[in-house]
């Protein structure tokens, strides 16, 4: 079985490369923005013709949440046009598309976990383009899984965990917001969940939520990062209004994972346990 991974240089792409050796029955082809630019349909179509993938995992995305507010065209090009290109070409080649989306498609006004059926209402350019990318894939149809995730971190790339560790090496105290609530997701756990879907050979196409289990604020997440890494620092909780950002974040974006657990039998680790696993590497 041939698995084409676009966006191989990002967090999820690197996590998939990290776990790929555990799946010898799968043949992985990793394409970065140079070898598999999803915004150029001709190049992607050529790549598909050469590799003939059974599955395409689209880990390519514009994820700079604040920068997207001043670069809407670039976010649109990658998150919407790129997703549409892949969906069209996957349909042409009878390839199953697995597309990664985000909790930012929601406005964060709920106080209970979001299900796949809840109405989307993104508050910024990043969330809007990811929602529009989902819509573009659904409009084309074919065989696809859209997986919404949240607060992704890993030992790869740039992320909140790495930022906290870097800042802790430079400062004696840190302020972190404590009124944005969600769930951290270990990119390696997300990668393994995707490969479980592939190995299942089930055709239960559609939208699924995946994150680690549990609920946390960014302050909680930071505190646990420092605890498991045995770092002593003066960590102070602050409200969102004390740390203004260009793009508005959802105040609450915990995802309900019932569907993916029931359909694919996926067992999901708690976010604290998943974080502890990284600290042991």
E strand residue ranges, the chain: 2-6, 27-31, 55-58, 96-102, 144-149, 152-153, 173-177, 181-182, 185-186, 206-209, 216-217, 234-238
Position 222 in a domain: no
The boundaries of the domain holding residue 102 are 2-155+185-213+253-269
Quick one: what percent of the chain has pLDDT higher than 70?
Answer: 99
Which secondary-structure segment (H or E) carries 42?
helix 41-51
We report the CATH number of the domain holding residue 203 as 3.40.50.720
Position 243 in a domain: no
Displacement of CA 213 from its chain's centroid (Å): 15
Surface-to-core class of residue 30, CB atoms within 10 Å of its CB (0-12 exposed, 13-18 middle, 19+ buried): buried
Q: How many domains does the chain have?
A: 1
- Count other Cβ atoms within 10 Å, centred on residue 18: 15
Q: How confident is the model at residue 104 (pLDDT cuts 50, 70, 90)?
A: very high
How far apart are the two ends of the chain, measured CA to CA in Å? 30
Main-chain dihedrals φ then ψ at residue 275, nearest 5 degrees: -70, -40
Position 161 in a domain: no
Please give the model's pTM, rounded to 2 decimal places.
0.97
pLDDT at position 220 over 90: yes
Position 242 in a domain: no
**Residues paired with residue 148 on neighbouring β-strands, in sequence order:** 101, 209
Position 122 in a domain: yes
Three-class DSSP category at 234: strand
Position 196 in a domain: yes
What residues act catalytically?
126
Nearest residue to 186 via CA among 206, 207, 156, 163 = 156
Position 179 in a domain: no
pLDDT at position 279 over 90: no
- Looking at every residue in the chain, the average pLDDT score rounds to 96
pLDDT given at position 278: 86
- Render pLDDT for 44-75 as a digit per residue (tens, 0 to 9): 999 999 999 999 999 999 999 999 999 999 99
Q: Torsion angle, CA of 53/57/62/66, rounded to 10 degrees?
A: 180
Task: Find the mean pLDDT for residues 98-119.
Answer: 98
Position 218 in a domain: no
């Amino acid at each position: 079985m041939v698995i084409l991974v676009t966006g191989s240089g990002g967090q999820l792409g690197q996590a998939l490369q990290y776990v790929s050796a555990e799946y010898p029955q799968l043949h992985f082809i990793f394409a970065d923005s140079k070898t598999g630019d999803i915004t150029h349909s001709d190049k992607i179509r050529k790549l598909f013709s050469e590799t003939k993938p059974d599955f395409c995992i689209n880990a390519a995305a514009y994820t700079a949440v604040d920068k997207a507010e001043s670069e809407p065209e670039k976010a649109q090009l990658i998150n919407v046009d790129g997703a549409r290109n892949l969906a069209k070409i996957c349909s042409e080649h009878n390839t199953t598309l697995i597309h990664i989306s985000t909790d930012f498609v929601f406005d964060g006004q709920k106080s209970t976990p979001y299900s796949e059926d809840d109405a989307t209402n993104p508050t910024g350019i990043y969330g809007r383009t990811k929602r529009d990318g989902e819509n573009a894939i659904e409009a084309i149809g074919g065989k696809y899984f859209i997986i919404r995730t949240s607060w992704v971190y890993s030992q790869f790339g740039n992320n909140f965990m790495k930022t906290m560790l870097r800042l802790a090496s430079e400062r004696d105290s840190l302020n972190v917001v404590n009124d944005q609530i969600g769930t951290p997701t270990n990119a390696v756990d997300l990668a393994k969940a995707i490969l479980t879907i592939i190995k299942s050979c089930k055709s239960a196409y559609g939208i699924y939520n995946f994150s680690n289990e549990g609920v946390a604020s960014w302050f909680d997440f930071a505190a646990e990062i420092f605890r498991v890494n045995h770092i002593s620092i003066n960590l102070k909780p602050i409200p969102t209004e004390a740390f203004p950002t260009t793009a508005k974040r959802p105040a609450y974006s915990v995802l309900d994972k019932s569907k993916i657990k029931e359909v694919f039998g996926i067992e999901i680790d708690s976010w604290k346990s998943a974080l502890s696993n990284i600290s042991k590497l």
